[in-house]
């Protein structure tokens, strides 16, 4: 909604206005591109009057009779480029929108350039949009995509990090979270664990929200925005979790569709890039191998199949794709049958009586053609994506890894030794083996003895693993207080349903033979458990000493005692150091 308002020159688009939109150009930087692309398609932009969308730092021709809407970060080089545009008189008028708030001094730079270029009247509006975060789903956002390594787990936990670097990282995170709440139009109540990076974020965010509320003239949380927020009467809870409370989950191999796509394929900002393997048979001997075709697919909110199955276990997804395909083929045959009947010459009696019967049928068939084509597109897309995932599962034995890790994490008895898994040359890449071993190391109550560890290390080295992660986890485990009570993941292991149903193996495109048909039992991961305690106001040693911030309270009293005893209706969970699709899915299942 905020983006559409911005593209409409910062006035809310009128629902029933007839007539053409105002034609305009959109100019963004990479940050702006990342924010817009998961949300608005090219067609939607066109419907809003955007004829061209260009990167700020590309060669752009002057189009003097068209207004330009800019959507960029207020960085030094972006501002220089905008000033240059003003001097070159590229466009009719300029609507400048900054993704994050622009500083006074930079604003003055633009003003000076505008005066110098005699273009003051053309700069129509300058807005801080507070949109410095990327929305990937109706209920999921990430901070950024461009410089994500700057706010990653590694950046925050580097042993040689300086205080100033840490401050910068925290400010970057807080800026995005602040934008998120401005856009929501809500002031959260903040809870966080003590002595972690999450606490630093909480303190800074509380301060920033507090200062904004006190500044009555310029507060972003007054008047029209607040009413528009969906939380008009009850405030949301913001739970800031530190990644270090649970390092096993992000390493864990997974079994649900969206998390698998993210783990094994190249999946960013809701777009998956696949390399299509081209057949070798038709190339003459000695010919150069063909270049692999790269295809990319968008997995979006409008994709009904994706929305329905992104949280399903993979075998279920394969079965559903197959069913969709069969129902599509039946519909397609029906259309073909009608076409052949309609093609009958009109002379003979029988055809004419059939005709009147069939006109009705045909009309309905034709009206469903666009739907049919869309259905076909989605089936092809998911057939390709699921096949690519399946290739990884089979070649790396990911079903075996998933099941084995679940057993380790839930402290069940293991059916084969970890050493065998690591030394099996057919199972997994070196990285898969490392992930498995790290999960074992993190989850074990006692660290393995030095003798055992040497044995494991040798096996890992033989398998081609880089041992650097292990030395980090070793120090981490020695350092974390958590080690005294390893995180429990519930004691549930996935139940194999036996191999796939016979139906599946015959006549399906997915040759699933040998892949285990594992079904998940619902259990709450640590992040979900923490949320549950804090939302429902349950007392639990895990969360009892979490700090409590309420930016609306006059004195910033640091009490861990919550003011209100009522459970929360809405919550936002943010993991400092990066959440993942496994946890996202787990939270969604918990809500259900």
Question: What are 408-425's pLDDT values in tens digits?
Answer: 988 888 888 899 999 988
Q: Choose between 487 and 74: higher pLDDT.
A: 74
**Is residue 506 in a domain?**
no
Does some domain include residue 499?
Answer: no
* Distance between CA atoms of residues 592 and 584, nearest Å: 13
Q: Would you place residue 147 in the very low, low, confident or very high pLDDT band (cuts 50, 70, 90)? A: confident
Q: If we measure between CA atoms, which residue out of 472, 574, 583 comes closest to residue 170?
A: 574
Tell me whether residue 273 is in a domain.
no
Residues 24 and 89 in one domain: yes
Average the pLDDT over 296-325 and give the result. Answer: 92
9 plus 112 within the same structural domain: yes
Distance of CA 1 to the CA centre of its chain: 19
- Is 22 a member of any domain? yes
In a domain, 357, yes or no: no
Q: What is the pLDDT of residue 214?
A: 85
d(CA 268, CA 145): 8
Q: Of 119-128, 380-389, 481-490, 577-586, which gets the smallest average pLDDT?
A: 481-490
Q: Calculate Rg over the CA atoms of the chain.
A: 28
Res. 446 pLDDT band, cuts 50 70 90: confident
Instruction: Give the DSSP letter of residue 569.
Output: S
Q: How many angstroms separate the most distant Cα atoms in the chain?
A: 92
| CA distances in angstroms from 351 to 16, 266, 335, 417, listed in the order given | 47, 54, 17, 72
How far apart, in whole angstroms, are the C-alpha atoms of residue 405 and residue 415? 12
- Which 3 state secondary structure label does DSSP give 53? strand
Which has the closest alpha carbon to 117: 94, 87, 85, 90?
Answer: 87
Same domain flag for 77 and 30: yes
Let me know if residue 288 belongs to a domain. no
Query: Does residue 162 fall inside a structural domain?
Result: yes
pLDDT at 549: 92
Q: Please write the tens of the pLDDT for every residue from 184-207.
A: 988 999 999 998 999 999 999 999
pLDDT at residue number 503: 38
What residues contact 455, with CB distance under 8 A and at least 6 apart? 419
Boundary of a domain, candidates 131, 165, 196: 131
The tokens describing 23, both together, are 């034609």
For 124-156, give the DSSP string: EEEEE----SEEEETTEEES-STTGGGGSHHHH
Residue 330 lies in a domain: yes
Same domain, 177 and 62: no
* CA-wise closest residue to 353 among 364, 365, 363, 341: 341
Question: Do 163 and 238 sit in the same domain of this protein?
Answer: yes
Mapped onto helix, strand or coil, the DSSP state of residue 78 is helix
pLDDT at 21: 83
Q: Which domain holds residue 432?
A: 398-484
Q: Is the pLDDT of residue 282 over 70?
A: no
**Span of 108-117, 224-233, 275-284, 335-344 with lowest mean pLDDT:** 224-233
Torsion of CA 473, 476, 478, 481, to 10 degrees: -130
Q: How many domains does the chain have?
A: 4
Confidence of residue 291 (pLDDT cuts 50, 70, 90): low
pLDDT digits (tens, 9 = 90+) for 237-251: 999 999 998 999 999
Q: Which of 484, 507, 542 is the last residue before a domain boundary?
A: 484
Do 446 and 389 sit in the same domain of this protein? no
CATH of residue 572: 3.40.50.1910
Supply the mean pLDDT for the chain: 85
CB atoms within 10 A of CB 119: 20
Contact, 471 vs 477, CB < 8 A?
no
Per-residue confidence (pLDDT) for residue 314, from 0 to 100: 93
- For residues 114 and 495, the model is more confident at 114
Spatial distance between the Cα atoms of 72 and 86, rounded to a whole number of angstroms: 15
Tokens of residue 149, six digits: 């390594």
Closest of 318, 492, 530 to residue 403, by C-alpha:
492
Average pLDDT over residues 262-291: 73
Q: What is the mean pLDDT of residues 443-466?
A: 90
User: What six digits make up the tokens of 164?
Assistant: 């100033």
Tell me the CATH number at 34: 3.40.50.2060
- Give one DSSP letter per residue of 401-447, joined into a string: HHHHHHHHHTTPPPSS-HHHHHH-TTS--HHHHHHHHHHHHHH-SSP
Residues 219 and 119 occupy one common structural domain = no
d(CA 161, CA 172): 16
Same-domain pairing of 65 and 15: yes
The domain that holds 477 is classified in CATH as 1.25.40
Last residue of a domain, one of 131, 154, 189: 131
Decide: helix, strand or coil at residue 157.
helix
Same domain, 91 and 103: yes
What tens digit of pLDDT does each residue of 486-545 get? 455 655 555 554 444 433 444 456 667 777 777 777 788 999 999 999 999 888 888 888
Q: Is 392 in the same domain as 413? A: no
Same domain membership, residue 72 and residue 18: yes
d(CA 102, CA 100): 6
- Tens digit of pLDDT for each residue in 216-269? 777 788 655 444 444 456 789 999 999 998 999 999 999 999 999 999 999 999
Are residues 92 and 82 located together in one domain of the fold? yes
pLDDT higher than 90, residue 109: yes
55 has a pLDDT exceeding 80:
yes
């Amino acid at each position: 909604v905020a983006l559409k308002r911005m593209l409409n020159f910062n006035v809310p688009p009128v629902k029933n206005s007839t007539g053409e939109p105002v034609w305009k150009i959109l100019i963004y930087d990479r940050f702006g591109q990342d924010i817009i692309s998961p949300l608005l398609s090219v067609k939607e932009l066109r419907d809003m009057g955007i004829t061209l969308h260009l990167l700020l730092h590309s060669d752009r021709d002057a189009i003097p009779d068209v207004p330009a809407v800019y959507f960029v970060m207020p960085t030094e080089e972006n501002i220089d480029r905008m000033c240059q545009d003003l001097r070159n008189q590229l466009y009719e008028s300029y609507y400048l929108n900054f993704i994050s708030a622009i500083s006074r001094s930079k604003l003055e730079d633009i003003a000076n350039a505008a005066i110098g270029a005699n273009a003051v009247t053309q700069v129509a509006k300058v807005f801080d949009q507070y949109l410095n975060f990327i929305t990937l789903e109706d209920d999921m956002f990430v901070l950024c995509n461009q410089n994500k390594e700057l706010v990653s787990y590694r950046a925050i936990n580097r042993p040689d990090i300086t205080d100033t670097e840490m401050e910068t990282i925290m400010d970057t995170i807080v800026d995005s979270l602040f934008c998120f709440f401005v856009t929501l139009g809500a002031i959260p109540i903040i809870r966080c664990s003590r002595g972690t990076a999450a606490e630093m974020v909480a303190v800074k965010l509380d301060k920033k929200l507090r200062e904004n509320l006190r500044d009555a003239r310029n507060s972003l949380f007054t008047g029209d925005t607040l009413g528009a927020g969906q939380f008009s009467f009850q405030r949301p809870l913001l739970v800031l979790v530190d990644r270090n409370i649970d390092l096993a989950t992000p390493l864990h191999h997974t079994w649900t569709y969206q998390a698998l796509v993210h783990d094994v394929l190249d999946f960013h900002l809701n777009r998956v890039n696949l390399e299509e393997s081209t057949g070798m048979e038709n190339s003459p001997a000695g010919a150069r191998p063909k270049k692999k075709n790269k295809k990319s697919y968008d997995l979006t909110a409008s994709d009904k199949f994706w929305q329905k199955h992104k949280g399903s276990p993979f075998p279920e997804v394969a079965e559903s794709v197959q069913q969709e395909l069969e129902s599509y083929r039946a519909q397609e045959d029906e259309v073909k049958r009608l076409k052949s009947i309609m093609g009958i010459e009109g002379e003979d009696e029988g055809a004419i009586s059939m005709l009147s019967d069939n006109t009705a049928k045909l009309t309905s068939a034709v009206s469903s053609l666009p739907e049919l084509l869309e259905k076909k597109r989605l089936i092809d897309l998911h057939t390709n994506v699921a096949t690519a995932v399946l290739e990884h599962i089979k070649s790396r034995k990911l079903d075996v890894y998933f099941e084995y890790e679940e057993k380790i994490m839930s402290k069940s008895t293991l059916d084969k030794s970890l050493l065998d898994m690591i030394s099996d040359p057919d199972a997994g890449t070196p990285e898969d083996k490392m992930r498995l071993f790290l999960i074992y190391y993190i989850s074990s109550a006692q660290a393995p003895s030095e003798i055992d560890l040497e044995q494991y290390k040798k096996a890992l080295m033989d398998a081609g693993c880089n041992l650097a992660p292990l030395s980090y986890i070793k120090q981490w485990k020695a350092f974390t207080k958590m080690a005294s009570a390893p995180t429990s993941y519930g004691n549930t292991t996935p139940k194999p349903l036996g191999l796939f149903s016979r139906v599946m193996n015959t006549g399906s495109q997915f040759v699933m033979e040998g892949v285990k048909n594992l079904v998940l039992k619902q259990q709450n991961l640590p992040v979900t458990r923490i949320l549950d305690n804090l939302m429902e106001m349950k007392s639990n040693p895990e969360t009892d000493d979490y700090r409590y911030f309420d930016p609306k309270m006059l004195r910033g009293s640091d009490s861990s005692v919550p003011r209100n005893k009522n459970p929360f209706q809405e919550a936002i969970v943010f993991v400092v150091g990066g959440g993942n699709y496994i946890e996202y899915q787990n939270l969604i299942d918990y809500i259900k």
